[in-house]
């Protein structure tokens, strides 16, 4: 197994892709013990990064919902009121 990068991922998507690769490699069951432990450690780091990124995104959505987004209530146009002269 090639050595995984110990660098912090640039994006959530790159972290998730690397994590998926690690999981698939470990599920194949062909790694020596030392490589399995290193892959597990890297996977835990990536999982923590992804969870943090999702938590940050959720907080941003909550801020937007409180400050900008309101429940949609269409204006009711009364047909009788528009027919008056």
Domains and CATH numbers, the chain: 1-85 (1.10.287.1040)
Tens-place pLDDT, residues 33-62: 999 999 999 999 999 999 999 999 999 888
**Phi and psi of 34, rounded to 5°?**
-60, -40
> Model's pTM, two decimal places?
0.69
Sign of CA dihedral 38, 39, 42, 44: negative
Q: Taking the CB of residue 71, how many other CB atoms lie within 10 A of it?
A: 4
Q: What confidence category does residue 18 fall into, taking pLDDT thresholds of 50, 70 and 90?
A: very high
């Amino acid at each position: 197994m090639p050595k995984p990068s110990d660098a912090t991922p640039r994006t959530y998507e790159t972290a998730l892709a690397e994590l998926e690769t690690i999981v698939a490699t470990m599920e194949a069951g062909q790694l020596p013990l030392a490589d399995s432990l290193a892959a597990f450690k890297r996977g835990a780091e990536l999982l923590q990064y992804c969870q943090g990124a999702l938590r940050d995104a959720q907080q941003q959505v909550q801020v937007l919902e409180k400050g900008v987004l309101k429940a949609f209530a269409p204006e009711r146009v009364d047909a009788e009121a528009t027919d008056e002269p």
